[in-house]
Amino acid sequence: GTHKSANMLREEGLNVVTLPKTIDNDLWGTDMTFGFQSAVDIATDTIDRIHTTATSHSRVFIVEVMGHKVGWVTLHAGIAGGGADIILLPEMPYDINSVVEAIEKRGKAGKRFTIIAVAEGAISKEDAALSKKELKEKKAKKKYPSVAYELAEKIQEKTDKEVRITVPGHTQRGGSPCAYDRVLATRLGAEAARAILEGDFGCMVGTKNQEIIRVPLSEVAGKLKYVDPKASIIKEAKTIGISFGDE
């Protein structure tokens, strides 16, 4: 929304230079946004702490991570946080039966607990098949405060496991930024200042292969960078045994 508005101002003749600031890392045209790594650190810490408790309890633990439309924070925190056993993303609609199967598979292997990292925008295959109108009507009648609670009820219906929910919520948006974000923001800010001095307006300053670049606002506005279900990071996560509930 910020870059869409900035581009509209650019079209009206204003001199605009923008920076990629969001915890979601969902801006098109940049490899990384500042705020993302700090949010991942907080979500990872939450999963780490749940992992400590989970080892002594035979339960399913659901950690709901921020991300309505994209699952970057959930994906990275799920892999980093002691390894979530199941990761559910908005980009990869899940089958509740596949989720249950992954939980039961762990049980048969002698693993008493399961940790699920779920993005707040995660959606089931059943809901993903609905039209926008049908989905909107269904959400209007929903009885769950968030996806974690709906998931918990369905898991409890299909298994004998107790389910516990943790929602770190807006703690992921606050606090002290990590060193990576401080360095990145400094580099981006310096390049934005240089662009202004050079009179190179109408661009967003971003990163590509760890180098600082300028991207035309017209190319950035209104576009989101989604997690690609076929990306190598998904394949690697599956290789180490993480389920995405999609198969």
Q: Convert 206-234 to b/e letters by CB count within 10 Å (16 or more is b).
A: bbeeeebebbebeebbeeebbbeeeeeeb
Longest CA–CA span in the chain (Å) reads 65
> Residue 207: helix, strand or coil by DSSP?
strand
Q: At what angle do helices 36-54 and 72-80 cross, to 10 degrees?
A: 40
Distance CA 83, CA 87 (A): 9
Distance CA 141, CA 118 (A): 22
> Residue 224: helix, strand or coil by DSSP?
strand
Specify which residues 190 forms β-bridges with. Answer: none
Q: At what angle do helices 232-239 and 72-80 cross, to 10 degrees?
A: 30
> Residue 50: helix, strand or coil by DSSP?
helix
Q: Are 164 and 59 in contact (CB under 8 A)?
A: yes
215: tokens are 């991207």
Q: Is 24 a catalytic residue?
A: yes
Specify which residues 243 forms β-bridges with. Answer: 86
Query: Which residues carry out catalysis?
Result: 24
